[in-house]
């Protein structure tokens, strides 16, 4: 994305305002913001996380007076982009917008990370959560979760499911289901949700966990079947589809998007960014656009996001150890 002349000159002016040898402490003393901010999305363009980041960045730019530029840095299950932020200066001008659930998963799933998820990142704010739905191709002769569990046990190790990649939220959602229902399903990982969804529609794989918007038209058209949701309660969009928690109490997982920064991000900047995120996310236009993406707005303090990570890392850590999931 190219910056307009105003943003370029603002960035140049801000650069020369820091004397040679200046550091983050000097930058922190300046008014914030005084130049554009990079919002790194560690995923390829086009997914729910990327789309919601762009919606949020547009409204934050208008409010903050300087452009918030989305910078896609995909690779290695989001760890490349995350590492870029972890290594950046803690001045508030490089931020991470990501699926926080995947961030929690990566903390245990990777045998070695170039950063420490807890020590090298500063939680800023949650943005929203997208509940998932367990979707089946019509070639799977199961119209209910009970039918699917019975079929999976009768044909153990023959039913397969797609995911956006090993260690992704969509992958671990199935692992949670496998553990809860005590069934054996075969994992078929893809490089991104687009390829996984295409394979499902062609009947090459039988199951997938997905956010609702990409699959809803196919459900209504009869090309796919929704068996359950990972929401704690049923979705108003598909009230006849049960929550997995009805059969397996406590079952819950979602794509939870949030904003983080590098470690040692000054408290005043954390508070300012969090306030700007909340302001943008609560505007009627953003609420409406998030709703079309199936995102339930869920902003909050940095402490709440830190608490979420503190809970999710050990929760998925146990699942990863139990299933033997490892990433290199």
Q: What is the pLDDT of residues 206-223, one digit of tens each?
A: 999 999 988 999 999 999
Measured between alpha carbons, how far apart are the two ends of the chain, in Å? Answer: 31
Torsion over CA: 164, 189, 123, 316 (sign): positive
Spell out the residues 6+ positions from residue 5 whose beta carbon is closer than 8 angstroms to its own. Answer: none
Residue 51 has pLDDT above 90, yes or no: yes
pLDDT class for 328, splitting at 50, 70, 90? low
282-293: pLDDT as tens digits: 999 999 999 999
pTM of the model: 0.83
Give the angle subtended at the CA of 3 by the CAs of 98 and 292, to the nearest 5°: 40
Binned at pLDDT 50, 70 and 90, residue 165 comes out as confident
pLDDT of residue 20: 38
- Residue 191 has a pLDDT of 79
- Most confident range (mean pLDDT) of 185-194, 217-226, 319-328 is 217-226
* Most confident region among 16-20, 77-81, 145-149, 234-238 by mean pLDDT: 145-149
Residue 267 main-chain phi, psi, to 5 deg: -60, -40
**What is the C-alpha to C-alpha distance for residues 39 and 135, in angstroms, rounded to an integer?**
32
Average pLDDT of every residue of the chain: 89
Q: Are residues 101 and 253 in contact, defined by beta-carbon separation less than 8 angstroms?
A: yes
Kindly give, in sequence order, each residue whose CB lies less than 8 Å from that of residue 143, ignoring residues fewer than 6 positions away: 225, 227
Domains plus CATH for the chain? Answer: 5-129+255-323 (3.40.190.150), 131-247 (3.40.190.10)
| CA 161 – CA 185 distance, rounded (Å) | 7
Say what percent of the chain tops pLDDT 70.
Answer: 91
Lowest average pLDDT, out of 2-6, 64-68, 92-96, 120-124, goes to: 2-6
Residues 33-46 have pLDDT tens digits of: 999 999 999 988 88
pLDDT tens-digit series, residues 7-24: 333 333 333 333 333 444
- Copy the structure tokens of residue 15: 């650069």
Residue 13 vs residues 22, 33, 64, 160, 273: alpha-carbon distances, Å = 15, 12, 17, 56, 22
Whether residue 113 is predicted with pLDDT greater than 60 in this model: the reply is yes
């Amino acid at each position: 994305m190219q910056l307009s002349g105003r943003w370029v000159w603002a960035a140049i002016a801000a650069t020369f305002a820091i004397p040679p040898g200046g550091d983050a402490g000097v930058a922190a003393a300046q008014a914030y913001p005084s130049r554009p901010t990079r919002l790194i999305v560690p995923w390829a363009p086009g997914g729910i996380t990327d789309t919601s980041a762009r919606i949020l960045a547009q409204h934050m730019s208008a409010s903050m007076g300087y452009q918030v530029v989305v910078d896609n840095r995909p690779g290695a299950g989001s760890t490349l982009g995350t590492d870029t932020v972890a290594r950046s200066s803690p001045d508030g001008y490089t931020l991470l917008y990501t699926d926080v659930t995947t961030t929690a998963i990566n903390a245990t799933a990777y045998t070695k990370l170039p950063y420490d998820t807890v020590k090298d990142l500063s939680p800023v704010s949650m943005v929203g959560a997208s509940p998932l739905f367990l979707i089946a191709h019509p070639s799977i002769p199961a119209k209910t979760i009970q039918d699917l569990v019975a079929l999976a046990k009768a044909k153990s190790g023959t039913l397969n499911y797609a995911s956006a990649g090993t260690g992704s939220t969509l992958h671990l959602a199935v692992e949670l289901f496998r553990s809860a229902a005590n069934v054996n399903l075969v994992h078929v990982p893809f490089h991104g949700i687009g390829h996984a969804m295409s394979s499902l529609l062609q009947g090459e794989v039988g199951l997938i966990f997905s956010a609702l918007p990409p699959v809803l038209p196919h459900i209504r058209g009869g090309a796919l079947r929704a068996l359950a949701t990972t929401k704690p309660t049923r979705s108003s969009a598909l009230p006849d589809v049960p929550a997995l928690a009805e059969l397996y109490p406590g079952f819950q997982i979602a794509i939870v998007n949030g904003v983080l920064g590098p470690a040692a991000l000054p408290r005043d900047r954390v508070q300012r960014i969090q306030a700007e995120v909340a302001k943008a996310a609560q505007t009627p236009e953003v609420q409406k656009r998030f709703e079309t993406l199936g995102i339930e707005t869920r902003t909050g303090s940095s402490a709440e996001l830190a608490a979420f990570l503190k809970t999710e890392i050990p929760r998925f850590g146990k699942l990863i150890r139990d299933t033997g999931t490892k990433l290199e």
